[in-house]
Structure 1
């Protein structure tokens, strides 16, 4: 049994080995009536690399919005900055604010050198910030998603649920990057759950991949699989 589980991990963790990826960061006071800035980066978070200029062009294809505590959604317009694309929103009431970005229009890519073959990439980004003392409200939204079951707080265990196509993603391979830039590889349990205990304020980024080996064609190009990537950012102010 242990050998089988180890073999499964060896198959899954290469999905997390391709260094460059997208992630979100939220900046602001976390108070009602004061603007929050969301920034979308491309690079290597664990190495402090944030790409610039034309290497950020892929961010323009993301659809961005913010989900309010009352369930309403407002579109966000991302504009280029020095090393990211960014947008602003202003919390109007206490509760959970979720910035949601998705890009399912990327061109087919040859990732053979990363042992992934010819793939169609799909990227999902979610950043969560709690404003005031309102209730935590999160539900799966994407094909591949990570959501907290508890209100994140320093020193308090927070259970994360990882889902795939609406169901628990058992034994999901996970990369966790803490505010100090340290990155660890972890594995969710058989129920798709992973416990995170924040040790201080800042951004906690949880990366999950899933390779759907269903071949197809997109924009006239054949692919062998769909690579789904999800990055959740938990912001503790």
Structure 2
């Protein structure tokens, strides 16, 4: 209960609206110790994972790929399960895993100040290796810089995205917010070992139509998942930084 209250307090302090949870969902990838990868829909920081039947079914047709050592995409099978999309066993943990959902229906979130938008979801699970930051692969992408757990670059359509708001969700679900600089770069603190999820949103004001429904803009949303192993770790920054 206390953890949940702290999460909500942090959201309020960062100016995120809690009044429209439907607009707060995103996709992200996790990989367990047996190398099994899964795609989730919900909110990692809220420990919320949607199910099927239910809101998981709003994700219509996600596609996923593994990047090999040369940077080539290899598409992998995506299987819908009750609590997630199964991506199978990815034996090479040094290979980034990518996924996107482009078939999400148009949403009218005008009453929440967002407008009529076409949500677009992207996600990357990336090992903290120097080669993992070769180049952006998704329309909206977050890449670690030279394997660092502190430095990242956000790209939109292969161009660094300046002044973007990056949310950082820690293994204990503590949150922080950082803006990218004029070169799309952002520095964060990662005080604890475990899984981190970074999230960024970019609204592209380009009207269009999808499945007979018109919209005013694309609402792109991307996440990056990475793990910091347990043990001695150089970043002992306090949460107040």
User: TM-score w.r.t. structure 2 length?
Assistant: 0.78
1-structure distance, mates of 2:104, 2:214: 13
1:74-93 correspondence to structure 2 within 5 Å: 74-92=74-92
State whether structure 2 residue 149 is matched by structure 1 residue 166.
no
Query: What does residue 5 of structure 1 align with?
Result: none
Cα distance, 1:127 vs structure 2? 0.7
Hey, what's the Cα distance between the residues in 1 that align with 2:178 and 2:51? 30
Which one of 115, 118, 121 corresponds to residue 117 of structure 1?
115
- Tell me the equivalent position of 1:209: 201
Contact 1:178–1:203 (8 Å) recurs in 2: yes
In the alignment, is the contact (CA less than 8 A) between 1:20 and 1:42 conserved in 2?
yes
| 1:96–1:135 Cα contact (<8 Å) kept | no
Aligned to 1:143: 139
Cα drift, residue 139 of structure 1 = 1.1
Equivalent position of 1:175 in the other structure: 167
Instruction: Report which structure shows greater RCO (CA 8 Å, sep ≥6).
Output: 1
Unpaired stretches in structure 1, ≥5 consecutive residues: 1-8, 29-34
CA contact (8 A) 1:121 1:226 kept: yes
Structure 1 range deviating more: 16-25 or 197-206? 16-25
Q: Which residue of 2 aligns with 1:67?
A: 67
Listed one character per residue, the Cα deviations across residues 71-94 of structure 1 (whole Å, up to 9, x for unaligned) are 3333222224442222223435xx
Structure number with the higher strand fraction is 1
Q: Secondary structure at the match of 1:18?
A: helix
CA RMSD of aligned residues (A): 2.7
Offset at residue 124 of structure 1 (A): 0.8
Q: Do structure 1's residue 24 and structure 2's residue 29 form an aligned pair?
A: yes
The whole-number CA distance in structure 1 between the counterparts of 2:191 and 2:24 is: 25
2: CA distance between counterparts of 1:24 and 1:212? 24
Q: Do the aligned residues in 1 keep the contact of 2:60 with 2:101 (CA within 8 Å)?
A: no
Task: Label 1:207 to 1:90 Cα distance change in 2 as closer, same or farther (>3 A).
Answer: closer
Counterpart Cα distance in 1 of 2:86 and 2:190 = 25
TM-score (norm 1): 0.79
Gaps of 5+ in 2: 1-13, 230-241
